[in-house]
Amino acid sequence: MKDARGREVGLHEDLAAVVIGLGIVLLALAVTWQARPVSDAGSRARHPKGWPTPLAATVGMPGAWADAPLDAFRDKQGDLAAGAIVLGMGWVVAIVAAGVVLGGGSVRACLPGAILIAGLACLAYVLSGQKVVKYYNLEYPLWALAVGLFVGNAAGVPRWLAPALVGEFLIKTGLVIFGAEVLVSRLLALGLPGLMTAWLVTPVVLVATYLFGVHVMRIPSRALCMTLSADMSVCGVSAAIATGAACRAKKEELSLAIGLSLFFTVIMMVAMPPVIRWMGLDPILGGAWIGGTIDATGAVVAAGESLGKQAGEVAATVKMIQNSMIGLIAFAVAVYWAGWVERDPAGPRGTLAGEAWRRFPRFIVGFLAASLVCSWLHTLGPEQALWVDGATTGFTLKLRGWLFCAGFVCMGLQTSFRELAPYLASGRPVVLYLAGQALNLVLTLVVASLTFGWLFKKVVEP
């Protein structure tokens, strides 16, 4: 962790994120196993989202509301759920404090700031829960950044808040926990056509967009090009968070990538279904096209479902395959950055692997460890699959949501509007996004037509 002067003190931020993140994943698995159902433990029909976990009651999130913001603190049955939400905020405060302690700081100094950050994260969730905002895919990271930016720029950051501004640490810890949801086995969910659509198009679009941004558009920041390319070609905000952390993108660059992704996702979510209907595409092909091109997972399902049930199912599954590539892509980006981009040609000569390891972001190791262990457990049998699904969907996904949300609040608080202005004024990131998305649209349609519409299409006997 770094002190106010930017010097490294205590446990390294990445190691602290790995220790806390993996500890939480193990806690979730242990508690869910301890409370496993005595009957029908392997029945997916009985437990569609995995085994229920007692930890679910310790982390609630504000829900959807239409015209009364206080409805966000009620559950789907209309009962007050404020207790679980306060506990969710408590997790944020506890993890900020744990990170500060591991970094050699003082709990007492960071507590007031941690409580304010948890409160602002809750406000961001409430803003993102309004039904118009929610059902048009304006996700919570956008509002967390907006809340932080507004408070930081309108009122400034008081001195007592500074010790709790550990946004990068919160996002890295959230990413390690997020690893438990990144199941490699999901890559095979749609057979060879799905695998080909994801593996042929996504890496090609990612690399082509990055190279176009760096060498043709000459955008000075390689990290911005990579973060934009990943969030556009893989799966939106979650990919931007993972790759942005892997290539050490600045907070303004990550904010810009997320803002652009969400803006164009809304447009594509509304525009693609009528375009597909107009083109007269088959629901399988239309669903695969939507799943491969729209950034955000929820928007993919929304656009697919508005075409029909079949298109919705295919779109969601194709997107899930792309989702599962996050771990591999974040790892590849971290290796490329440590081994090539950040290599100092004038620095002392060592082996490439040795130098790359020295600069490699250690939290990626924790992220991959969580992903590989949970992927392995998931393949052991139906009971183990329900165990992992229960621990993640019941607990870790909500907790990492709180950590991402609080991390983005911190980023917003530390960002000045003046730092964002040059990125917006040049307009080049927007052009890069549009160029990459155009390539993505064409390539995905071509490959999906080849795989789903021709190569692997079954001939129906008359």
* Segment near another protein (CB under 8 A); pick from 15-23, 162-170, 300-308, 355-363: 300-308
- Cβ distance to another protein smaller for residue 58 or 306: 306
Determine which residue in the list 263, 340, 417, 456 makes contact with another protein, applying CB under 8 A. 456
Query: What token pair was written down for 176?
Result: 């390690």
Determine which residue in the list 4, 35, 192, 211 makes contact with another protein, applying CB under 8 A. 192
Task: Assess contact for 81 and 398: CB atoms under 8 A.
Answer: no
- Per CB under 8 A, does 73 bind another protein? no
Residues sharing a CB contact under 8 Å with residue 344, sequence separation 6 or more, in sequence order: none
Expressed in angstroms, the distance from the first to the final Cα of the chain is 68
Determine which residue in the list 167, 193, 407, 412 makes contact with another protein, applying CB under 8 A. 193
Other CB atoms within 10 Å distance of the CB of residue 258: 26
- Per CB under 8 A, does 170 bind another protein? no
Residues sharing a CB contact under 8 Å with residue 171, sequence separation 6 or more, in sequence order: 241, 245, 403, 404, 407, 408
Task: Assess contact for 417 and 262: CB atoms under 8 A.
Answer: no
Q: Which of residues 328-387 bind another protein (CB under 8 A)?
A: none
- Cβ distance to another protein smaller for residue 186 or 251: 186
CB of 6 to another protein, least distance (A): 26
Determine which residue in the list 84, 184, 189, 377 makes contact with another protein, applying CB under 8 A. 189
Task: Assess contact for 301 and 319: CB atoms under 8 A.
Answer: yes
Separation of alpha carbons 251 and 272, rounded Å: 31
* Segment near another protein (CB under 8 A); pick from 95-103, 167-175, 290-298, 420-428: 290-298
Task: Assess contact for 330 and 365: CB atoms under 8 A.
Answer: no
- Cβ distance to another protein smaller for residue 250 or 457: 457
Task: Assess contact for 255 and 144: CB atoms under 8 A.
Answer: no
- Per CB under 8 A, does 389 bind another protein? yes
- Per CB under 8 A, does 310 bind another protein? yes
Task: Assess contact for 257 and 240: CB atoms under 8 A.
Answer: yes
CB of 342 to another protein, least distance (A): 28
Query: Bridge partners of 65?
Result: 130
Residues sharing a CB contact under 8 Å with residue 336, sequence separation 6 or more, in sequence order: none
Query: What token pair was written down for 283?
Result: 């629901």
Other CB atoms within 10 Å distance of the CB of residue 104: 12
Determine which residue in the list 130, 221, 243, 437 makes contact with another protein, applying CB under 8 A. 130
- C-alpha torsion angle, residues 300, 302, 304, 310 (rounded to 10): 120
- Per CB under 8 A, does 138 bind another protein? yes
> How many angstroms separate the Cα of 172 from the Cα of each of 17, 217, 326?
6, 30, 14
- Per CB under 8 A, does 238 bind another protein? yes
- Per CB under 8 A, does 229 bind another protein? no
Determine which residue in the list 1, 175, 316, 329 makes contact with another protein, applying CB under 8 A. 316
- Cβ distance to another protein smaller for residue 159 or 458: 458
Give the DSSP letter of residue 455.
I
- Per CB under 8 A, does 108 bind another protein? no
Other CB atoms within 10 Å distance of the CB of residue 32: 26
> Applying CB under 8 A, what is the total number of residues that bind another protein?
66
- Per CB under 8 A, does 395 bind another protein? no
- Cβ distance to another protein smaller for residue 136 or 357: 136
Strand, coil or helix: 88: helix
- Per CB under 8 A, does 314 bind another protein? yes
CB of 274 to another protein, least distance (A): 12
Q: Which of residues 29-48 bind another protein (CB under 8 A)?
A: 48
Q: What type of residue is 1?
A: M
User: Torsions phi, psi of 80, nearest 5?
Assistant: -65, 130
- Per CB under 8 A, does 393 bind another protein? yes
Determine which residue in the list 56, 100, 177, 190 makes contact with another protein, applying CB under 8 A. 190
- Cβ distance to another protein smaller for residue 270 or 369: 270
Q: Which of residues 417-446 bind another protein (CB under 8 A)?
A: none
* Segment near another protein (CB under 8 A); pick from 33-41, 169-177, 212-220, 453-461: 453-461
Other CB atoms within 10 Å distance of the CB of residue 328: 16
- Per CB under 8 A, does 212 bind another protein? no
- Cβ distance to another protein smaller for residue 45 or 425: 45
- Per CB under 8 A, does 246 bind another protein? no
Determine which residue in the list 29, 256, 320, 356 makes contact with another protein, applying CB under 8 A. 320
Is residue 10 left, alpha or beta, with left meaning phi > 0 and alpha meaning psi from -120 to 50?
A: left
Separation of alpha carbons 160 and 157, rounded Å: 8
Give residue for tokens 């959807």. Answer: 64
Positions in the binding site for another protein (CB under 8 A): 48-49, 66-67, 69, 127-128, 130-141, 150-151, 154-156, 178, 181, 186, 189-194, 235-238, 269, 284, 296-299, 301-302, 305-306, 310, 312-314, 316-317, 319-320, 323, 389, 392-393, 397, 401, 452, 456-458, 460
